[in-house]
A and B are shown apart, each in its own frame.
Chain A
Amino acid sequence: MAWFLLSSAYVFAQTDSTRMLDEVSVKSFAPTRFMAGLKIQSIDSASLQQAKFQTLADFLSFQAPVNFRPYGSGQLTTIGLRGTSSNHTAVLWNGININSPSTGQSDFSTLPAAGFDLLAIQYGSSSCVVGSDAVGGSILLDSKPVWEKNVQVNLGQRVASFDNWQSQFNVRLSDKRVSSKTLFYKGILNNNFPYTERKYYPIEYSTTDSKGFIQDLFFLTKKQNQISLNIWLSDNNVEISPQSIHTREVLQTQAVRVLNTYQFKKLTIRGGYVQDITNYGKGDFIKPSRTAIDRFLIRAEHEWKISKFVVHIGTEAAHVIAHVDGYDKANIAENRLDFFVWLRYQVSSKFLTTLNVRQAFIKSFDPPMAPALGAEYQLAKFVKLTGNLSRSYRIPTMNERYWSELGDPNLRPEDGFNKELGINWNYSKNDFSFSSSLNAYHNLINNWVYWNPETNYRVQNLQQVLAKGIEFSNKVLYQHGQISSGLTVQYAFTHSSQQKAYDNFSADVIGKQLIYIPKHNFTANLFYQTQALGKGEFFKKHGMPLRATLQWQANSRRYNTFDNSKWFDGQQIFNVILENGLKWKHIDGRVFFQVNNVFDELYLNSKRNAMPGRNYAINLVFNINK
């Protein structure tokens, strides 16, 4: 059974911006194997290591053409993939969707980059595999076991501008049968900005206190069956305007996520429990508005391999209980049931197809059946063509269905149809390797849910959105002896707009770019790594490579009104990271020095307050590896 784990790791650990489906990955259990033709960007481990103390929001915005919408430094940050809104990206933690059932989204400022061993962005619709929400794409966060004798202790401390502090303690223990990872993390962002405004835009004063605990435990039986337990507890406390009890706003979010998996040969059974608690209040915070949602889920999957076919079937049942202050009923419980069948057919060594279908059931309304057809064809030695057709859906959030007076229990699910084509080019010569990809997509989403001001913000399935775009990704790597260097450049053109008239004034909105989505988005990462700084005997023995990284993110204007009458100007931000260290036998110590927003660019968050200017961070990391 170990092979599938290693191979699934292989799929993720690739540094290529697009996944290669080779013989090894075919054997893995990862659901991405059934996503032929879809673009999957895996984040390499060196980048993850640098981002140890960052949130996924801060980190991913420099890694991919993804739109994050921050409400402030250390505050709620939501994602937008491929021209869709914040509830159209599924966030999967070890295969289960952790988006809040009440809002249908995840706060990326509470997701620590250090929490996961494997991180990937999957672009485009994948509801057939992932389920609800995966209309614009999904974010895959996974834990990976290590099956070799190893003891690893990491201690990390970050000191940053504005009196911001973060600490981590991580222990990994493993042998051939057991693999464990324990992580504690804590961050205190005091955000003591030396200024109250930047170029007349106020800087909103806020503090963030976050802590979390992650435990991943994998156990391999003698018969190579696997049992695993994943626990993730997190607690986040944000205070806006904390300077006085009269002005402050408090947002507390707590999550408990537990997942238990049994793999017996080709059968996998999972049991999961997720609890999300949110308290929001002002001033003395005596009677905050409260949201508490418990989810229990059980999933069973089985896979068969019959010559060139892989057949994977599964079912998932979930029970959700919501106590939300804004709902009419104190308690709302619902059951959800999903069935899925995935088929993978390796027609020839050059030609791969997948055919998947999922049907979800929820009492009183059923989402549409979601089929998908994907194909990948190796046109030439270095060139591969990809294509995918899929139907996606989003089950309206519980807020959309049950919010007092404004919600509508009879809303229909959003229903999308995504078409995409891609071409990948991979080539290496001497010390260089190149990979490029070009993807184009067309995603039409019907029954788009809208809080309609015409009906005093009652929720309706009013809109139809067409998101279309082109993504270009290019990567060059150079490696010669101890020197390596690389450049990754990504560009996305996104046009996402409202298609259908729904009231007298919608003419001003039709065809206009959706809010917060820039038409042009660029990211670039350049790194250079060389051997130890000094040449002496000491450095030969104790030196570690010096790595310098330049990150760049730029985007064109982002509108914040439906009729595009108001906008945020385009922006570009540069970060620089320098990394070096020393080692003594099993111990190494590393220093990361980071400068964020090097050119002090003024950029605004969703509340039109200024984000911080140039700021600095020093990370100290000690590793014991035995």
Chain B
Amino acid sequence: MNFRKLTLLSFVSIALFSCETKETEPAQPYDSGVFVINAGNFFDNNGSISLVQRDSKTAMIDIFQKENARTIAGGITDYAEVDNKGIILVDNSTDGQDAIEIVNARTFKSEATIKEVENPRNAIKVAANKAYVVCWDVLNSDYSYKPGYVLVIDLLTNKVIKKITVQNGAEGIVVVGNEAFVGNNPYSGKSEISVIDINKDEVSTKITLKGGTTNLIVDANNKIWCSVDKEFLRINPSTKAIETTISTEKTTEKVPGMLVLNANKTTIYFDYSHWSTGGEIYSFNIADATISTTTPLIKRTFSALGYDAKENVLYTAITPSYKQAGYVFRYKPTGVLIDSIKAEIAPVKFLFK
């Protein structure tokens, strides 16, 4: 072992040692688990986030309240984490009272509140310490949508640094490489995906569809999947071309929603439902040429669907009414029920950590 090798080794061991010191930093209460985003009842403004530990049969209720001695003042539409910061999107029933709450993602202690936001729908990390928040803006008096916008948030200063105007009813976002793809609510009359250049924070182009979509996901091959009415689309993010269109059956009024991917991102699970007849869960492989909705994986109406890649468990939620606590039902990927856990009002999304 020559000297060079020895110094290299010592450098490596120092590096390893320093790595270890980082790992032995005290664990924080919210370092891992499944975060349940409870929308709350619209006019009760009682959204909350509960935490389900993977080995637990009970949920920790309203963790924001627990850590901050106050509750979220509104419903919650999304929760995302960006470099140890948590972004909670707050939708109050009164226009002018919406907010973005920024917390320490590990302790859930509040760090900042951003008030200049209207009807935030989704939050996502786009780069280091940089998040996008997709918003509808306030609705028009006839409940139609104004042009939406994407807020660019710098998480070092917790400030909005730019507002990018996008299409009406903007909702749903995924990031592939240096581009963000923003969909829109089908009821907004728009049928497009805005493509935003993350370096410039500007809309670079648009993809035109046959209807609005808010269900955007990115598969193992870095292709975007979404659903428009009864059709699943596969979009190539580089060419912006729609490569594949697969339709479900045409006899019922049910439409796909709540698209989620399994751990290796090759299977898509989705809810197939109609507001009056309820829904079921089905799945298909991204290589499949057809999608069958004859035999449901789970026959039940859910308000949320998620896939825990860590333990390969399907998370679903039930909202019995907006005036009582909902439940999380855990299933094996085969559709076999594992257990159920009481959450809070109207669970709509999950974040797995």
Docked pose: A64 CA to B126 CA in angstroms: 57
Contact check, A200 vs B323: say whether CB atoms are below 8 A apart: no
Docked pose: A200 CA to B97 CA in angstroms: 11
The answer to whether A286 and B141 touch (CB under 8 A), given A199-B70, A607-B93, A608-B45, is yes
Docked pose: A515 CA to B323 CA in angstroms: 9
Question: Could you tell me which residues of chain A, from 495 to 518, have a CB within 8 Å of some CB in chain B?
Answer: 503-505, 508-509, 515
Contact check, B96 vs A285: say whether CB atoms are below 8 A apart: no
Closest to B343 in A: A565
From A453, A515, A609, B94 is in contact (CB under 8 Å) with A609
Contact check, A204 vs B97: say whether CB atoms are below 8 A apart: yes
Contact check, B44 vs A607: say whether CB atoms are below 8 A apart: yes
Contact check, A608 vs B73: say whether CB atoms are below 8 A apart: yes
Contacts of B43 in A (CB 8 A): 606-607
Least Cβ distance of B42 to chain A in Å? 10
**Sample (15) of A-B pairs whose CB atoms are under 8 Å apart:** A197-B73, A204-B97, A241-B97, A246-B138, A249-B94, A283-B139, A454-B321, A515-B323, A560-B46, A561-B41, A561-B323, A561-B324, A562-B324, A608-B46, A609-B97
From A246, A281, A563, A608, B95 is in contact (CB under 8 Å) with A246
Least Cβ distance of A217 to chain B in Å? 42
Binding site for A on B (CB under 8 A): 41, 43-46, 61, 70-71, 73, 92-97, 118, 138-143, 146, 275-276, 318-325, 327, 342, 344-345
From A197, A453, A560, B320 is in contact (CB under 8 Å) with A453
Contacts of A503 in B (CB 8 A): 320
- Kindly state whether residue A201 has any CB partner on chain B within 8 Å: yes
Query: Counting chain A CB atoms within 10 Å of each CB, which of B44, B140, B327 scores highest?
Result: B44
Query: Counting chain A CB atoms within 10 Å of each CB, which of B41, B70, B324 scores highest?
Result: B324
The answer to whether A202 and B344 touch (CB under 8 A), given A286-B141, A504-B320, A607-B44, is no
Binding site for B on A (CB under 8 A): 197, 199-202, 204-205, 240-241, 243-244, 246-249, 281-287, 453-454, 456, 503-505, 508-509, 515, 560-563, 565-566, 606-609
From B93, B96, B276, A243 is in contact (CB under 8 Å) with B96
Contact check, B70 vs A505: say whether CB atoms are below 8 A apart: no
Docked pose: A612 CA to B142 CA in angstroms: 31
Contacts of A563 in B (CB 8 A): 324-325
Closest to B113 in A: A200
Docked pose: A176 CA to B324 CA in angstroms: 61
Docked pose: A204 CA to B98 CA in angstroms: 11
Docked pose: A249 CA to B93 CA in angstroms: 11
Docked pose: A561 CA to B92 CA in angstroms: 18
Contacts of A608 in B (CB 8 A): 44-46, 71, 73
Contact check, A508 vs B325: say whether CB atoms are below 8 A apart: yes
Least Cβ distance of B73 to chain A in Å? 5
Contact check, A565 vs B325: say whether CB atoms are below 8 A apart: yes
- Number of A-B residue pairs with CB-CB distance less than 8 Å in the complex they form: 108
Interface of B is mostly: loop
Least Cβ distance of A138 to chain B in Å? 27
User: 3 closest Cβ contacts across the A-B interface?
Assistant: A283-B141, A505-B320, A247-B95
Least Cβ distance of B176 to chain A in Å? 34
Least Cβ distance of A568 to chain B in Å? 10
Can you add 5 more A-B contacts, CB < 8 Å, to A283-B139, A562-B323?
Answer: A249-B95, A505-B321, A508-B342, A515-B323, A563-B325
Least Cβ distance of B214 to chain A in Å? 21
Contacts of A515 in B (CB 8 A): 323
Contact check, B325 vs A287: say whether CB atoms are below 8 A apart: no
Contact check, B320 vs A247: say whether CB atoms are below 8 A apart: no
Contact check, B322 vs A282: say whether CB atoms are below 8 A apart: no
Least Cβ distance of A200 to chain B in Å? 4
Least Cβ distance of A310 to chain B in Å? 46
The answer to whether A247 and B138 touch (CB under 8 A), given A562-B321, A607-B94, A608-B45, is yes
Query: Counting chain A CB atoms within 10 Å of each CB, which of B44, B143, B321, B323 scores highest?
Result: B321
Closest to A458 in B: B276
Docked pose: A454 CA to B342 CA in angstroms: 18
Closest to B99 in A: A202
Contact check, A285 vs B97: say whether CB atoms are below 8 A apart: no
The answer to whether A204 and B94 touch (CB under 8 A), given A509-B324, A561-B325, is yes
Least Cβ distance of B9 to chain A in Å? 54
Least Cβ distance of A449 to chain B in Å? 15
Docked pose: A561 CA to B342 CA in angstroms: 14
Docked pose: A240 CA to B97 CA in angstroms: 11
The answer to whether A456 and B276 touch (CB under 8 A), given A287-B141, A608-B46, is yes
Contact check, A456 vs B95: say whether CB atoms are below 8 A apart: no
Contact check, A200 vs B325: say whether CB atoms are below 8 A apart: no
Contacts of A454 in B (CB 8 A): 320-321
Contacts of A247 in B (CB 8 A): 94-96, 118, 138
Least Cβ distance of B88 to chain A in Å? 13
Least Cβ distance of B100 to chain A in Å? 14
Contact check, B73 vs A201: say whether CB atoms are below 8 A apart: yes
Docked pose: A515 CA to B44 CA in angstroms: 12
Closest to B138 in A: A246
Contact check, B324 vs A202: say whether CB atoms are below 8 A apart: no
Docked pose: A608 CA to B47 CA in angstroms: 11
Least Cβ distance of A127 to chain B in Å? 27
Closest to A405 in B: B276
Contact check, B344 vs A240: say whether CB atoms are below 8 A apart: no
Least Cβ distance of A561 to chain B in Å? 5
Closest to B46 in A: A566
Docked pose: A458 CA to B320 CA in angstroms: 14
Closest to B68 in A: A200
Docked pose: A107 CA to B96 CA in angstroms: 25
Contact check, A244 vs B45: say whether CB atoms are below 8 A apart: no
Query: Counting chain A CB atoms within 10 Å of each CB, which of B97, B142, B143 scores highest?
Result: B97
Docked pose: A505 CA to B118 CA in angstroms: 34
Docked pose: A247 CA to B117 CA in angstroms: 12
Docked pose: A285 CA to B141 CA in angstroms: 7
Docked pose: A508 CA to B43 CA in angstroms: 22
Docked pose: A202 CA to B94 CA in angstroms: 10
Contacts of B71 in A (CB 8 A): 608
Least Cβ distance of B195 to chain A in Å? 28
Closest to B110 in A: A200
Contact check, B345 vs A561: say whether CB atoms are below 8 A apart: yes
Contact check, B73 vs A200: say whether CB atoms are below 8 A apart: yes
Contact check, A200 vs B70: say whether CB atoms are below 8 A apart: yes
Contact check, B45 vs A287: say whether CB atoms are below 8 A apart: no
Docked pose: A283 CA to B143 CA in angstroms: 9
Contact check, B44 vs A560: say whether CB atoms are below 8 A apart: yes
Contact check, B94 vs A241: say whether CB atoms are below 8 A apart: yes
Contacts of B143 in A (CB 8 A): 282
Contact check, B324 vs A505: say whether CB atoms are below 8 A apart: yes
Docked pose: A509 CA to B319 CA in angstroms: 14
The answer to whether A202 and B92 touch (CB under 8 A), given A284-B141, A503-B320, is yes
Contacts of A283 in B (CB 8 A): 138-141
Least Cβ distance of A483 to chain B in Å? 47
Docked pose: A503 CA to B327 CA in angstroms: 14
Contacts of B320 in A (CB 8 A): 453-454, 503-505, 508
Contacts of A505 in B (CB 8 A): 318, 320-321, 324, 327
Contacts of A607 in B (CB 8 A): 43-45, 93-94
Contacts of A201 in B (CB 8 A): 70, 73
Docked pose: A565 CA to B143 CA in angstroms: 32
Closest to A71 in B: B43
Contacts of B45 in A (CB 8 A): 607-609
Docked pose: A197 CA to B95 CA in angstroms: 15
Closest to A567 in B: B46
Docked pose: A563 CA to B61 CA in angstroms: 14
Contacts of B96 in A (CB 8 A): 205, 241, 243-244, 247
Docked pose: A509 CA to B320 CA in angstroms: 11
Docked pose: A204 CA to B43 CA in angstroms: 13
Contact check, B70 vs A565: say whether CB atoms are below 8 A apart: no
Least Cβ distance of B69 to chain A in Å? 9
Docked pose: A281 CA to B141 CA in angstroms: 7
Contact check, A282 vs B139: say whether CB atoms are below 8 A apart: yes
Docked pose: A34 CA to B292 CA in angstroms: 70
Contacts of B70 in A (CB 8 A): 199-201
Docked pose: A322 CA to B61 CA in angstroms: 45
